[in-house]
Amino acid sequence: MSRKISFAKAINEALIQEMDRDEKVFIIGEDVAKMGGDFGITSGIWEKWPDRAFDTPLSEAGFVGLACGAALCGLRPVAELMFADFIGVCYDQIVNNAAKLCYMFEGKATAQLVIRAVTGGGIRCAYHHSQCIEPWMMNIPGLVVVAPANAYEAKGLLVSAIRSNNPVIFLEHKGLYNKKGEVPEELYSLPLYKASVVREGSDITIVAAMSMVEFATRASQELAEKGIDCEIINPLTLFPLDKETIINSVAKTGRLVLIQEGPKFMGYAAEIGSMINEEIFEYLKAPIKRVTSLDTPVPFAPVLEDYVLPHYEDVITACNQVMSF
C-alpha cells in the first residue's frame, strides 16, 4: 500500500469505482456534474456518465427529496451538500422521511441514500459554512453518521455507505481534503459501526473524530516522551456508536479525554462521557475531560476563529490533568 493520495481524491475514487460496479449509483447536487463539485470531489464523473451525474438548482430540499424518492425506487443516490450547514434546509426530507422509512414500512421499503456533507471549520469560511453538524443528526434513530479522519478511511467507508440499505450522513471535514495517505488503488470497504484503535496505550483513552484525530496523535507522541501512554479511539461511525470498543479501552486505562471540534454542549463528547459514567464509573481513576470549541458561532476573522476552535495545547493540559489523580 505504497501509493499516497489525498482525502479528496480517495472520495472521488470511491465514487467512480462504485458507479462503475453498480449502475444504480448516481450523484446529484449543486455543481457536481459539469463543474465537478465546489471542492472538485466529483470531477471526471459527468464526462464518464453524463446520464448519472445531475446538477440541480440551489434547493437542498428539492434534490435531497428527489434522492429519497429515487432510493425508494431501488436506486442508490449520492447527494452532495456543498456545506453541511445547509442540512438545515433539507432537514425534513432527511429526518421525517429517509430516517423513518424502513421503520414505518417494517423493512419492506428503505431509503438507501448517501448524503455527503462538507463539515468543520479552520479555513475561514465563517458562520454559515464552518459548523460541525453531527449532533444535529446523532439524535435521529434510523440515520447513520459516518466521520472518516484520513484518506484510507474515507474511501473504504464511503464504499460501505453507498452499499448500505440505510440513509447515511457522510461527513467530510474540509480541512482534511488535501491531507494525503496510503490508499489501495483497488476497490475495498471498511465496516460501518466499528471504531478504530488508532494507537494502543495503557494510561489514557483519547477519543477523537475527523480532524481532531491529528490533535490526538500529536498529543500522544508528545506525552509518550514524558512516559504517558495514550490509547486513541476514532469512532468512525458516530451513530450508531461502537460503544464496546470505547468502554473496553476506558476500562483498561481508567482515564478519558474527549476531543471534539464542535461546541461542548450536547456533542458526541457529552454522549460518550455520559455513557462511560453510566456503564463503567467504577473503573474511572479521574474525572472525564472534554476539549471542544466554545459555545458560539464560528467567526470569520482568523484570530477569532482560532480563539473559538479547540487548541492543541488544551489536549495536553487535559491529559496532564487526568494523570494528576
Task: Determine if residue 81 is left, alpha or beta; phi over 0 gives left, psi from -120 to 50 gives alpha, anything else beta.
Answer: beta
* H helical segments located in 108-226: 134-138, 151-163, 212-224
Classify 306 as helix, strand or coil.
Answer: helix
Q: Strands 53-55, 289-293: parallel, antiparallel or unpaired by DSSP?
A: unpaired
Which residue's entry shows cell 468512525? 236
Q: How far is CA 49 from the centre of its chain?
A: 27
Beta carbons of 110 and 165 less than 8 angstroms apart: yes
**Distance (Å, whole) CA 60 – CA 81:** 7
Residue 302: all three cell numbers together = 482568523
**Distance (Å, whole) CA 325 – CA 320:** 9
**Distance (Å, whole) CA 314 – CA 46:** 44
Q: Which of 128, 129, 173, 311 is catalytic?
A: 129
Beta carbons of 23 and 194 less than 8 angstroms apart: no
The DSSP 8-state label assigned to residue 93 in this structure reads I
Residue 180, judged by CB atoms within 10 A of its CB (0-12, 13-18, 19+), counts as middle
Is residue 129 annotated as part of the catalytic site, yes or no? yes
The residues assigned a catalytic role are 129
